[in-house]
Structure 1
Amino acid sequence: MATQKKADAENPLANILINVLIPVLALSYLSKDPVIQELLGKDVKMWHIGPVRALIVALAFPICYGVWFFLKTRKMNFFSGLGLFSVLLTGGLTLFLWNKDGTVKEHAAVLFGLKEASIPFVLGIAIIASHWSKTPLLRTFLYSDSLFDIPKIESKVGLLGKEVEYQKVLLNATVLFAMSFFVSTAMNFGLAMYFLGDLNHAAANAREVYNAQVAKVTGWGFVVIGVPIMAFLFFTLRKLLTGLRGITGLKDEELMMPR
């Protein structure tokens, strides 16, 4: 049973890749309008399908994955919902900001920066709020049964009568984990303003420049934002392990699932 459960466990990285990163990349690289490309004297590539079609392609990934997951488990997939929210926000903002004459609306940089910041901010709030629900998001991302031997841990906690201390450890880990998303909120906004802050919204090629800079925001985000966040997550994991060791007396290899 345990082997089957482990085999059926989802890979969080694959989830984020399919439901969030690939759709955002699709919006960044497929959204160029062939008509505007021709007016600017640029080569029209076969993947330049325009913002509306790019939005449809991007939405297809989280929708298809979410349907597949629901048919398989009869449960809603959190990452698919996050992907749909991200794609609709990004695609909808793109359609709003782009003008037909090739220019973009004023304050496009600020609006895009706020969009970039909104997703990790909402996620951070949701992580903290979910601590008191039946399905804490900490268990979806970090404290999952694919990483930790949760039945053994909770059995030991119950045996020692340390439920209050156990919940405190999980709350502290939840807050630390949410903080990584709040850090990402600030860094996302800063990165967007760095690349888009000097955008000339009235230029004839503003849409072209906007699209190119959005692609840079996405690409550099993996490094500028991803590395610090991974370091933050590692720190959170170590604090979680330290807390669990303190209340259960179990060693790290006993707390973690065997690899």
Structure 2
Amino acid sequence: MAEKKASPLNDLIFNVIVPSVVLMKLSGDEYLGSVGALLVALAFPVLFGGYELIKYKKFNFISLLGFVSVLMTGGIGLLELDAKWLAVKEALIPGLIGLGVFISTFTKYPVVSKMLINDTVLNMALINEKLQEFNKKADFDRSLVFANYLFAGTFVFSSVMNYVLAKVIVTSPSGSQAFNEELGRLTLVSYPMIAIPSMVMMMGIFYYMWRQIRQMTQLETAQILKTEK
């Protein structure tokens, strides 16, 4: 039986679209008010994350950082801290992930290796056999390290872009209706301007590693992929 996975559409709806609409449209005093709208908007990603954790029984460090990010955003708004702290928070989360990816380069298990070069989807026994046969193991390991550096770089890009967008878009005092509306716009804008470019960069990294495997092992795609017998 195929493993059930979370729906990317649901992720987009509950983590981006619904919170943004609530913040931008319901923050007025005639609706939920600035505090009420902020609490409702933040409740969606928190409850959705909890639901997926229970349903799919998956939890990891990145999920934890996402949860902490939501709590920090709520804290900044409810405690009416200076809006500059929102920009710092927006940069901090991807920055920490990027740092973790970079540090993993110096361990036995670089993040890229765990994500891509594993027995789940690739025929690693045959790949390693061919790398040894053509004396390419050292070259392959260097390519893997380079790919991990590039992967860490995608989070550095996200960190910088998060900070810049937050500084440009969110300029009103926290706790105000205008702050909520700007936070909603930031959430909407950050997805196409940060998430999508980052995804494209990651796909480029995976394609780079795929090409390295093909060139160094002289294997065909059908031989590289692990297929069920």
TM-score between the two structures when normalised by the length of structure 2: 0.76
Match of 1:157 among 124, 127, 131: 131
Measured at CA, do residues 226 and 248 of structure 1 come closer, stay the same or move farther in structure 2, by a change above 3 Å?
Answer: same
Match of 2:14 among 19, 22, 29: 22
Once the two structures are superposed, the pairs formed by residues 37-52 of structure 1 within 5 Å of their partners are: 37-38=28-29, 42=30, 44=31, 49-52=36-39
Aligned-partner SS, 2:146? helix
Once the two structures are superposed, the pairs formed by residues 73-112 of structure 1 within 5 Å of their partners are: 76-97=59-80, 105=81, 107-108=82-83, 110-112=84-86
For the pair 1:66 / 2:39, whether they are aligned, the reply is no
Give the distance between the partners of 2:95 and 2:185, measured in 1 at CA. 21
For the pair 1:221 / 2:208, whether they are aligned, the reply is no
Give the distance between the partners of 2:118 and 2:185, measured in 1 at CA. 33
Unaligned runs of 5+ in 1: 98-104
Aligned-partner SS, 1:250? coil
Identity value in percent: 24
Number of the residue aligned with 1:8: 3
Measured at CA, do residues 66 and 228 of structure 1 come closer, stay the same or move farther in structure 2, by a change above 3 Å?
Answer: same
Unaligned runs of 5+ in 2: none
Once superposed, what is the RMSD of the aligned Cα atoms? 3.7
**Paired letter, 2:75:** G
Give the distance between the partners of 1:21 and 1:61, measured in 2 at CA. 10
Match of 1:211 among 180, 194, 219: 180
Shift of 1:179: 0.7
Give the distance between the partners of 1:256 and 1:156, measured in 2 at CA. 14
Match of 2:218 among 249, 252, 259: 249
Give the distance between the partners of 2:69 and 2:198, measured in 1 at CA. 19
Give the distance between the partners of 1:33 and 1:228, measured in 2 at CA. 28
Shift of 1:191: 1.2
**Paired letter, 1:8:** E
The higher-RCO structure (CA 8 Å, 6+ apart) is 2
Give the distance between the partners of 1:61 and 1:55, measured in 2 at CA. 10
Equivalent residue pairs, number: 226
Q: Does the 8 Å contact 1:23/1:87 carry over to 2?
A: no
Measured at CA, do residues 164 and 190 of structure 1 come closer, stay the same or move farther in structure 2, by a change above 3 Å?
Answer: same
